[in-house]
């Protein structure tokens, strides 16, 4: 089930990426819910994802 939560989180983040505030809020929720190793995977995925959408870089602060 943990993998399903990780995949669900990525889907949600992709869908709300049009709005920076909403993206940040969902990213905060994800950090609270995911396991530590999943957060590491999410960090890697987000680095790739934000290359296409640099306006979302400000939300990466929630991963630290």
What confidence tens digit (pLDDT) does each residue in 2-60 have? 689 999 999 999 999 999 999 999 999 999 999 999 999 999 999 999 999 999 999 99
Q: Which two tokens stand for residue 56?
A: 């979302």
Q: Which two tokens stand for residue 38?
A: 């999943």
Q: Would you tell me how many other CB atoms lie within 10 Å of the CB of residue 23? A: 23
| CA–centroid distance for 8 within its chain | 10
Q: What is the pTM of this model?
A: 0.90
- Torsion of the alpha carbons at 47, 3, 23 and 11, rounded to the nearest 10: 100
Which residue reads 């959408």 in tokens?
A: 53
Q: What ranges do the domains of the chain cover?
A: 28-64
Listed in sequence order, the residues at least 6 apart from 41 whose beta carbon sits closer than 8 Å to its beta carbon are 6
């Amino acid at each position: 089930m943990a993998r399903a939560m990780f995949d669900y989180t990525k889907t949600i983040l992709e869908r709300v990426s049009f709005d920076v505030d909403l993206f940040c809020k969902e990213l905060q929720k994800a950090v609270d819910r995911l396991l530590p190793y999943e957060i590491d995977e999410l960090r890697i995925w987000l680095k790739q994802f934000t290359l296409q959408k640099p306006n979302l870089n400000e939300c990466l602060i929630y991963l630290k």
